[in-house]
Structure 1
Amino acid sequence: MESLVHINEVSFPIEGAPSFQILLNSQKLQNAMKWLTLGNLECVALLHLPRMKHLQTLEIRICRELEEIKVDPKQERRRGFAVDYIPGSNFHTLCNIIIYQLPNLLNLTWLIYIPSVEVLKVTDCYSMKEVIQDETGISQNLSLFSRLRVLRLDYLPNLKSICGRALPFTSLTDLSVERCPFLRKLPLDSNSATYSLKTIKGSRWWWDRLQWENETIKDTFNHYFQD
């Protein structure tokens, strides 16, 4: 594929760390990648994602030793990006992210560098306690998940937090939480998903145990709940 002069779109799964290393060594493939599945990255605890400026869908699955995923903030800042302002991010086209069967993954804080994510699905991540880690010092001005339409969390048995503060979720239409027994609070307040939200799905047992800032907010979102 390196020898194809006019290649401008690539989509395929990568299985195993050696194959992923080939992608890391190929700027041409990174620049052409639109859909990528990464699986079975043996002996990889820390995954540094390369810049793929045309990537639209990323799936990471069955990486049993993976604990952390990163994009390099220093590299982003050198190119003129900051945590709260990423106008030319090389991930600006990445809108679909699917994460499943990563039993040692701790969080998804790297998503603060993905401004265009629209669909986020996270399944079977037993060690994850937070989606966005609280200790990152994220700017209050950051429009985190501003384009997110669909959020699905399933079988995260130790998850306690999506984000430590309420988020506007200006585009959120569907929120689904299944088998996350310790998630007792949602990052929602009276200003969240005001005009976009359609449904919140989960078990009645989970919904009745949620903690809310006040009864007014609880009543507001109760209209969207479906078990």
Structure 2
Amino acid sequence: MNLKELPVGIGKLVSLEHLNLSFTHIRKLPIELKALKNLKYLNLERTRWLRIIPQLISSFSKLQVLKMEGCCYQCSLVLEEMEHLNYLNVLTITFTSTSELEKALGFNKFISCAIEHVSLQGFRDSRSLNILALANLQPLYSLELSGYMVIEDVKIESNIIEGVGCFHSLRSIYLFDCNQLRDASWIIFAPHLERLFIRDCQGLEEIISEEKLSEVAELKRNSNLFSNLEFLHLNSLPKMKTIYGHALLFPQLKRITILNCPMLKKFPLNSNSAKGRRLVIEGDEGWWKDVEWQDESTQIAFFPSFKHR
């Protein structure tokens, strides 16, 4: 939508409860919006031109849903205002730096409300990330790391682990353009993960690193990895060699999509994997012919699963 500004007089709509400005080209929110005392839902997602929100958010005392994922306004600037939103229970938000995220984690309202989606983009101020700092966000349903991040390492700190499963509510993970990452082992802390999408991560060599898991006794050879995964999508990962070094059961798996991953020849599958499921494996025919199976019975079991993409 090419909407660039809100119409004059919008402040007169004092009974308005729902305002969706997502994907518009709006550059600022007019101060007149302060009159919308009954607003319960505000969607500013993907408002890439938005630069000015003049101390408005705290005026919406009845606000229940605030969506700011992909909003180019610095979300950290509205965190203090969120403290006054007693009814806020659904939030989507984007952070662009480690310092911004750390600041957010210091606000009680940010931690306590139902954060539906968090997007971490850019993060040019750090080469490492303690992802488990987000584990206190309940319920965090969806998490995205993207924006040509320079982060090389996502820490797994054994001293804060008291049993696997920090992100109990996390269902979807998206990794895009994280070119410095070598693995994504931290996703083991999302035991109920259903959807994993990884694209354009030029340095990624493996998803789960056995070396990293071996550093934490509780995680070594965890047979329940990906026990709830339904969709796995890997695209444009030129260095990807392995998903995980051992066969997994994948009891809920429905679809695997592998595109432009020339070095990925092995799956963590055996003849007992995805039992009773109509698994679909999508990919290029040339790549499929070069897949190296664990044994003949595994090849026979999954050969009918292939679908050309």
TM-score, length of structure 2 as denominator length: 0.67
**Does 2:155 match 1:70?**
yes
**Does 2:251 match 1:174?**
no
CA RMSD of superposed structures (Å): 1.6
Counterparts of residues 131-150 of structure 1 (less than 5 Å) = 131-135=207-211, 136-137=213-214, 138-150=219-231
Describe the SS at the equivalent of 1:59: strand
Describe the SS at the equivalent of 1:196: coil
**Does 2:291 match 1:206?**
no
Please identify, of 91-100 and 34-43, the stretch whose mean Cα deviation from structure 2 is larger. Answer: 34-43
Describe the SS at the equivalent of 2:95: strand
Aligned equivalent of 2:191:
115
After superposition, give the CA deviation of every residue in 1:19-54 in whole Å (9 maximum; x if it has no partner).
Answer: 323223224313322211111111221111222121
> Does structure 2 conserve the Cα–Cα contact (< 8 Å) formed by 1:31 and 1:54?
no
The alpha carbon displacement at 1:216 in A equals: 2.2
After superposition, give the CA deviation of every residue in 1:137-164 in whole Å (9 maximum; x if it has no partner).
Answer: 2433541000000000011100101001
> Does structure 2 conserve the Cα–Cα contact (< 8 Å) formed by 1:131 and 1:162?
yes
The alpha carbon displacement at 1:71 in A equals: 5.1
> Does structure 2 conserve the Cα–Cα contact (< 8 Å) formed by 1:123 and 1:154?
yes
The alpha carbon displacement at 1:166 in A equals: 0.4
Where relative contact order (Cα < 8 A, 6+ residues apart) is larger, the structure is: 1
Describe the SS at the equivalent of 1:176: strand
Q: Residues of 2 paired with 1:53 and 1:195: CA distance? A: 33
Aligned residue pairs, count: 218
Letter in 2 for 1:40: G
Aligned equivalent of 2:181:
105
The alpha carbon displacement at 1:64 in A equals: 2.7
Q: Residues of 1 paired with 2:158 and 2:224: CA distance? A: 17
Letter in 1 for 2:147: I
Letter in 2 for 1:44: S
* Runs of 4+ residues over 6 Å off in structure 1: none
Q: Residues of 2 paired with 1:224 and 1:19: CA distance? A: 45
> Does structure 2 conserve the Cα–Cα contact (< 8 Å) formed by 1:175 and 1:200?
yes
Letter in 2 for 1:223: P
TM-score, length of structure 1 as denominator length: 0.89
Letter in 1 for 2:154: I
Aligned equivalent of 2:123:
41
> Does structure 1 conserve the Cα–Cα contact (< 8 Å) formed by 2:248 and 2:268?
yes
* Bigger Cα Rg: 2
> Does structure 2 conserve the Cα–Cα contact (< 8 Å) formed by 1:17 and 1:41?
yes
Aligned equivalent of 2:24:
none
**Does 2:302 match 1:221?**
yes
> Does structure 1 conserve the Cα–Cα contact (< 8 Å) formed by 2:98 and 2:126?
yes
After superposition, give the CA deviation of every residue in 1:192-220 in whole Å (9 maximum; x if it has no partner).
Answer: 01122431001111111111122221121
> Does structure 1 conserve the Cα–Cα contact (< 8 Å) formed by 2:196 and 2:232?
yes
Please identify, of 57-66 and 21-30, the stretch whose mean Cα deviation from structure 2 is larger. Answer: 21-30
Letter in 2 for 1:61: S
Which runs of 5 or more structure 2 residues have no equivalent in the other structure? 1-81
Q: Residues of 1 paired with 2:117 and 2:264: CA distance? A: 31
> Does structure 1 conserve the Cα–Cα contact (< 8 Å) formed by 2:223 and 2:248?
no
> Does structure 1 conserve the Cα–Cα contact (< 8 Å) formed by 2:241 and 2:265?
yes
> Does structure 1 conserve the Cα–Cα contact (< 8 Å) formed by 2:210 and 2:244?
yes
